[in-house]
Amino acid sequence: MSENKKAEKIVGVKGMNDILPADAPMWELFENTVQSVLQSYGFQKIVTPIVEDTSLFSRAIGAVTDIVEKEMYSFEDSMNGDQLTLRPEGTAGVVRAVIEHNLAYEGPKRLWYKGPMFRHERPQRGRYRQFFQVGAECIGFSGPDVDAELIMLCRRLWDDLGLSNIRLELNSIGNAEERNAHRADLIAYFEQHIDQLDAEAQRRLHANPLRILDTKNPTMQDLVNNAPRLLDYLKDESLAHFNGVKKILDANNVQYTVNPRLVRGLDYYNRTVFEWVTDELGAQGTVCAGGRYDPLIEQIGGKPTPAVGFAMGIERLIELMKLAGEPHEPAQCDVYMVHQGEAAQLQSFILAERLRDAGLDVILHCATAAGAGSFKSQMKKADGSGASFAVIIGEDEVASQTAAVKSLGEQQQETVPFDQVVDYIVDHIVGDHDHDHEHVHYHP
Ligand code: ATP
Ligand code: MG
């Protein structure tokens, strides 16, 4: 390329987002909050690879689902011919790891994960090709108690995040036998009204008719509302489980509506299914979806083990948090080092390291293409950084082995010997800490 020809700009992959520094504090707040809520219910973290064997997802998720039919990023590893897929969801990988490492051997497990998922969808608000989920999986628990506990964990998270407009929809989809009985009647019903089914519904009629109930097509709403209800096909055991969940939720004042059309997109669910939904995000209003998946572990080669879990979409929750009010811009550091001249710069490096040893966040002024900058322009940067103190060193300070320590809030300046700068700032920041902890990063 010739030197004066401008290189062509490369942009990010469609539907995959950058999380920019301006949004990072919101993400951190979400991540810290969800982690502490999960810990308060005894969940342990698990991290699995972003890539798995394609067969894991086709077996775990089910062939006639949006994900496996048309959303998976699958490819052949050209080095060895392996068939691989970027994970479209987290449960399959977690369950694979639990089986592979025999994790459920010592007893039931409460696990959680966080990370990017990949689905080749049409990008739109709240729907991306790379998106982040936090999920929880309770492996080896069979009763309604843990289903209710998962739901209550979510309620606590919404509370802690200050999100109030999220409602709970609940349903039971019974077991395979009950679904089969319902399915026969459902197909018969839809066949009677075949002219009202859209193309997708017609295609799914015999493969996965339950999914038709999930349609977002407005012209089919009356049809699906009047369809046979799976709830009416549940027998004693499934009903007892469902009632068990509702009883715990009722006793704990958890509000919900039973939505008989709630079926979930993935095939492996049974019994309890739930979604947390908001009206504030337009069409993509489901922020968390979960349910029981007792048949899954056996289906992918493990010993029969009951399980239940949920996954929440972080982008949608971040958007809700933004609507609820942005937290004010956090400070980048506690101390900003301002210096002029080579000897002062070297002294600044030494002091900055000592301040960091003491647990402070420090930005040391560094040169740009325009040069190191005057004292004045460096002080502007110090003010803009949100630091509590600027430590200023020039030739005079080097000569007297002192620094000018300026409190940026109070605009007061003191001369402090080099070897007392750390103690001076730590004392003042800890003192400050009681009044205004939000702006202080100090972490001894
Ligand atoms: P939908 O019917 O909206 O496609 P889904 O059934 O495919 O949802 P799940 O697989 O249950 O969604 O995923 C759980 C949660 O993850 C969703 O409720 C949503 O918050 C989030 N999510 C799913 N797909 C996306 C996506 N493409 N972009 C952003 N978030 C997503
Ligand atoms: Mg989907």
Q: Which atom of ligand 1 is nearest to the CA of 311?
A: 14
Mean pLDDT calculated for residue range 3-15: 88
Question: 388, exposed or middle or buried, with CB in 10 Å at 0-12, 13-18, 19+?
Answer: buried
Candidates 405, 399, 410; CA nearest to 420 is 405
Which residue type, as a one-letter code, is found at position 252? N
The ligand that comes nearest to the alpha carbon of residue 273 is 1
- Please state whether 39 falls in left (phi above 0), alpha (psi between -120 and 50) or beta: alpha
231 touches ligand 1 (CB under 6 Å): no
Mutate which of 119, 133, 134, 320 for ligand 1? The one with the most ligand atoms within 8 Å of its CB, which is 133
Which position has the higher pLDDT, 433 or 210? 210
Q: What does the pLDDT average to over 268-274?
A: 89
Question: Annotated binding residues for L-histidine, as ranges?
Answer: 89-91, 119, 133, 137, 264, 268-269
3-state DSSP call for residue 133?
strand
H/E run at residue 428:
helix 421-433
**Residue extents of the structural domains in the chain:** 24-174+234-325, 335-434
DSSP result, 326-342: PPPPPPS-SEEEEE-SH
Q: How confident is the model at residue 436 (pLDDT cuts 50, 70, 90)?
A: very low
CA of 221 to the centre of ligand 1 (A): 21
Instruction: Answer whether 62's CB lies under 8 Å from 68's CB.
Output: yes
Q: What is the pLDDT of residues 408-435, one digit of tens each?
A: 988 899 999 999 999 999 999 876 554 4
Give distance in angstroms: CA of 267 to centre of ligand 1: 15
Closest residue CA from atom 22 of ligand 1:
313
Distance from residue 95's CA to the centre of ligand 2 (Å): 20
**Ligand 1 atom at minimal distance to the Cα of residue 275:** 18
Q: Is the CB of 287 under 6 A from ligand 1?
A: yes
* Bind-site residues: 89-91, 119, 133, 137, 264, 268-269
Dist CA 220 CA 107 (whole Å): 46
Q: Are 254 and 152 in contact (CB under 8 A)?
A: yes
pLDDT of 442 strictly over 70: no
Query: Which atom of ligand 1 lies closest to the CA of 290?
Result: 11
With beta carbons less than 8 A apart as the criterion, state whether 259 and 290 touch: no
CB 284 within 8 A of CB 128: no
* Top-tier CATH class for 24-174+234-325: alpha beta
State the pTM of this model. Answer: 0.88
* CB-CB contact of 345 with 291 (8 Å): no
Q: Which residues contact 115 (CB under 8 A, 6 or more apart)?
A: 47, 50, 90, 132, 133
| Cβ of 319 less than 6 Å from ligand 1 | no
* Atom number in ligand 1 closest to CA 288: 18
Q: What is the mean pLDDT of residues 388-398?
A: 96
In Å, how far from its chain's centre is CA 413?
44
What's the whole-number mean pLDDT along residues 319-342? 88
Q: What is the residue-averaged pLDDT of the chain?
A: 91
Q: What CA–CA distances, in Å, run from 392 to 237, 335, 337, 420?
A: 73, 10, 6, 14
Radius of gyration of the chain (CA): 28
C-alpha closest to that of 187 among 201, 173, 176, 170: 201
Is the CB of 211 inside a 6 Å radius of any atom of ligand 1?
no
Assigned token pair, 443: 């972490």
- State if residue 130 touches ligand 1 by the CB under 6 angstroms criterion: no
pLDDT tens per residue across span 345-374 = 999 999 999 999 999 999 999 999 988 899
The pLDDT assigned to 435 comes to: 43
CA of 67 to the centre of ligand 1 (A): 10
**Residue 384: φ, ψ to 5°:** -70, -20
Is the CB–ligand 1 distance for residue 128 below 6 Å? yes
CA 296 to chain centroid: 23
**311 Cβ closer than 6 Å to some ligand 1 atom:** yes
Q: Which residues pair with 339 in a beta bridge?
A: 393
Q: Tell me how far the alpha carbon of residue 216 lies from the centroid of ligand 2, in angstroms.
A: 12
d(CA 56, CA 289): 21
All residues at 6 or more sequence positions from 260 whose CB lies less than 8 Å from its CB, including other chains? 171, 229, 230, 231
Q: Is 121's C-beta closer than 6 angstroms to any atom of ligand 1?
A: yes
**CATH number belonging to domain 335-434:** 3.40.50.800
Predicted pLDDT at 326: 66
Q: Percentage of the chain with pLDDT > 70? A: 94
Residue 343 — φ and ψ, nearest 5°?
A: -65, -40
Beta strand 109-118 with 44-45 is parallel
User: Of all atoms in ligand 1, which is nearest to the CA of residue 121?
Assistant: 27
Q: Structure tokens of 419?
A: 């070897």
Indicate whether residue 315 lines ligand 1 (CB < 6 A).
yes
Sorting pLDDT into bands at 50, 70 and 90, what band is 437? very low
171 lines ligand 1 (CB under 6 A): no
Share of the chain above pLDDT 90, in %: 73
Query: Do β-strands 44-45 and 286-292 pair in parallel, antiparallel, or remain unpaired?
Result: unpaired
Confidence of residue 267 (pLDDT cuts 50, 70, 90): low
In the chain the first and final C-alpha atoms are separated, in Å, by: 51
Average pLDDT for residues 235-239, to the nearest whole number?
Answer: 96
Amino acid letter at 383?
D
Q: How far is CA 146 from CA 117, 139, 386, in A?
A: 25, 10, 45
* Cα 221 from Cα 138, distance rounded (Å): 34
